[in-house]
Amino acid sequence: MRRRDKHDRQEDSVDPGLWAPVALVLSVALLGVSASVMVLRHEATRPVVGDMVVFRPGTDDRGPWRVNATAWRVDASGQATQACTLSSSVMATGGGSLVVEARLPGEAIRYRVHWAGSRTDSGDRDCGAAADLLMNRIDVRKLATAAGGFGMKTSGFHAAGFIPMGAAMP
């Protein structure tokens, strides 16, 4: 049987200077994974063609997510003609839906949407009961949030939702 001496014990131990680079690599990898998850979540909330935001009639609860969004009416040739307002509280009171029909090319992310329902505003900037509109991405997302977030909601503080393309209606 061989006796272990001081020299043998030193060879078995790990140099503490090796842990710093390992910890750095693990930290960078964790940061990369976290950033990737955040980007994917952000992309998952971006409206795509076919998505629908539903405002169920009589669901305006005067909650904290009341928003106004500006849209532009579109004529038959696809040109923006006049601005109108989409008020989430008015839309939720009367009911209706926004359907994303197209994402338009260009630097600014804009969408052509179709509104069908009751009024969109109580003033003279009402878009009407049915309208083809141009909207920016932020305003589409604001209205989806005001309608109850992404995904169909049947309870909670808002009873409306954002329906991804291909999802079954309740």
DSSP 106-147: SSS-EEEEEEEES-S-SSTTB--SEEEEEEEHHHHHHHHHHT
Residue 146 has pLDDT above 80, yes or no: yes
- Predicted local confidence at residue 79, as pLDDT: 86
pLDDT tier for residue 86 given thresholds of 50, 70 and 90:
very high
Task: Identify which has the larger pLDDT, 148 or 139.
Answer: 139
Q: Would you say the pTM of this structure is higher than 0.75?
A: no
Residue type, 143: L
CA–CA gap between residue 123 and residue 85 (Å, rounded): 9
Q: Which of 66-70, 78-82, 98-102, 156-160 has the lowest mean pLDDT?
A: 156-160
Residue type, 64: P
Residue-averaged pLDDT of the chain? 77
User: Which backbone phi and psi does 112 adopt, to 5 degrees?
Assistant: -100, 125
Q: What's the length of the chain?
A: 170
Residue 72 has pLDDT above 60, yes or no: yes
Q: pLDDT tens, 24-59?
A: 888 998 888 888 777 666 555 678 788 888 888 877
Please compute the mean of the pLDDT values over residues 18-26 and round it to a whole number: 84
pLDDT tier for residue 76 given thresholds of 50, 70 and 90:
confident
